[in-house]
Chain A
Amino acid sequence: MLALALALAALGTSARALPSADELLDSALAAPAAAYRGRVLVVQWYGRAPDGSLRTRASELAVAVKPPDRVRRELLAPDGSVERVLVSDGSRERATLCRTGRTVVAQVPGAGETDAAPEARREILRRNYELIVGTAAPVAGREVWRLSFVPKSAGKARLALWIDKDSKTILRVKRWLPGRPFARDSQFLVFEPGAELDDSLFRVDAATAEIAAAHPPSPLTMAELRAKGAAMPEGLPGGFAFESGAALKVRGSVVLQARYTDGLSTLSLFQTDRPVHLPKNASVPAGRNPLPGPLSASAAGKIMQWRSGRRHFVMMSDVSRALMGKIAAAVAAAR
C-alpha cells in the first residue's frame, strides 16, 4: 500500500500544474502568511580581473521574518559571528555595527504610500518584459516554481525568482546581464518555515540610537518639472516611462530629478546648472560604444554625466552602456 502511494506521488509531480505569472508575482510580493527564518548566501559577479578571471564577492546572512512586515537580517562573518544587524518593523529600521555598537534608526522610504495606478505599472512591465513560469530544481530542499522576467529590448538585465510552492516565499533571486560577467544571486541555503520567533528580535528602538531624518521631497509631475525648467522627455529608449519627479536643493543649486521605470527597474535623470563631481579614479575609458560623457561606477549602478548647452545631465541606471548612449541621445533630441 505504501509502495503504491509513493508511486502515485512520484507520478503526480510530473503533472504539477503551473500558476499564471500574475498569480506568482502577487504571491511573491505579498506579506508572508507565517513566520520563517533561514540562512541566505549572496554571490555577486562584477567583471573580470586583468588575467581574465571572474571577480566575485560573497556574503552570508541570517534572516528572520515575522508577519506582517517585521524583518531581521544579520550579516555574518566567516566564523559565524554577527557583523551587522538590520531590523525593520515596516515603518522604521534600525541598523547596528556590532563591533562599535553604533546604531542608526531611519524611516523606511515609501512606508505607508499607496500606488495610485497599479494597473499602469503592470502594463509597463508586460510591455517591456516577457514573464515565463516554469519548474526548477529544489532550493534549500524545497520544491519551487520559477518566474523569469525576460527583457524585450537589448541592453537590460534578466531576473529570475524561485518561489516556494507551499509558503510562496521567494527562496532565490538572480539578476544578470546576458553574455556579460555581471550578476547577483541570493538564495536560501537553509529555510525554516513556521519558526517560533520572539518579538524582541524585531525591536527597532534603541537607547543610544542616532535618528536619521528621512523626509524626501514631494513627487512632481512632468508638467511641474518643466515649469521649473526641465528639458527631459516623457519616454526613453528601452521602454522607460516617466514615473515622477523631484526638485532637490544641493549647495544652493536646484537639481531636477526625473525618475523613469520600465516596470522592473528605475532610471534617474538629473538636470543641473553646474557639473557634478565624479571622482577621477571611478571613471572608465570609452569602450566600443562612445558616450557623450564620462562613466562612473557606484553602488547605485552606472553613472554618466554629460553637458548639453548650459545644462548638465547625470543619468543613473544599471542598463548597458550602449543603451545609456541611446538614452542620452534621446534627451538631446527632446530639447
Chain B
Amino acid sequence: MNEHIEGVELSSLIDGALDAAARARAAAHLSACAPCRAELESLRAFKRLAADAPRRALPADLALRLERRHVAAPPWALLTRPRVWAPAGALAAAALAAALWLRSTQAPAELPLEPLVAAHEAAAGQTLTPEPVLVASADADSAALLADDGAGGSAE
C-alpha cells in the first residue's frame, strides 16, 4: 500500500471482497487518514444511490442510445423532402400521368430500400423517419467510407 489506499482496494473493502489481513490493514490506515475516510464515505454514498435506483433496462442498441444522448437523429427526412412536385407544362403533366399509370399497372421489380432503413433505425431507438442521407446517392463520401474498409480487413 502506498501513502493512501488504492481506489480499487477501497471499492473492494466496501464490497466485502478483501481478506482478513487486507481488511485489517485498511482499517488501521483509515483510522489515521482523513482523506481516505472521506473518499470511503463518498463512494459508499454513491453506491447507496445506485443501489436505491431501479435496475436500468438496457436498450437493444445501447451504443446508439448512448451516442444519441448528445446528438439525436431527428426526422430531418420529412423536413427536407419537397411537399409537392409540380410538373411544368402540359407535356410534362402528360408524361407524369403516363408514368403514374404505368407504375400502377406493373409491379416494380425491386423494393425500395427506405422502408427497411426506417425499420432498422426504429428498432435502434431512433425516430421513424431516417436521415435524408440514406444510400450515398446524396453522400458520395459514404461509398469511399466502405471502399476504405476493405483495405485493412486482415487486421481484424
Contact = CB atoms under 8 A, between A and B. Distances in A.
A289 B154 CA distance: 8
B7 A16 contact: yes
Contact of B137 (A61, A188, A282, A288): A282
Contact of B148 (A12, A48, A214, A259): A48
Interface residues of B, number: 93
A260 B67 CA distance: 19
A286 B16 CA distance: 55
A64 interface: no
A124 to B, nearest CB: 9
Nearest to B60: A261
Interface string A15-47: 111111001011111100000000010100011
Contacts of B135: 278-279, 282, 296-298, 303
A91 B111 CA distance: 31
Interface of B: 3-8, 10-11, 14-15, 34-36, 38-40, 42-43, 46-47, 49-50, 53, 55-67, 69-76, 78-80, 107-113, 115-117, 119-131, 133-137, 139-156
28 contacts: A15-B4, A15-B6, A18-B7, A27-B53, A40-B70, A47-B149, A97-B76, A100-B79, A103-B79, A106-B129, A109-B122, A109-B126, A121-B59, A154-B156, A175-B67, A179-B152, A250-B112, A250-B115, A251-B111, A257-B116, A266-B61, A266-B64, A281-B136, A281-B143, A297-B136, A299-B133, A302-B146, A322-B156
Interface of A: 8-9, 11-12, 14-20, 23, 25-30, 40, 42, 46-49, 55, 59, 61, 63, 71, 73, 84, 86, 88, 93, 95-97, 100, 102-104, 106-110, 114-115, 118-119, 121-122, 125, 149, 154-155, 157, 159, 161, 170, 173, 175, 178-182, 184, 186, 188, 210, 212, 214, 216, 243-244, 246, 248, 250-253, 255, 257, 259, 261, 263-266, 268, 270, 272, 274-279, 281-289, 295-300, 302-303, 314, 316, 320-323
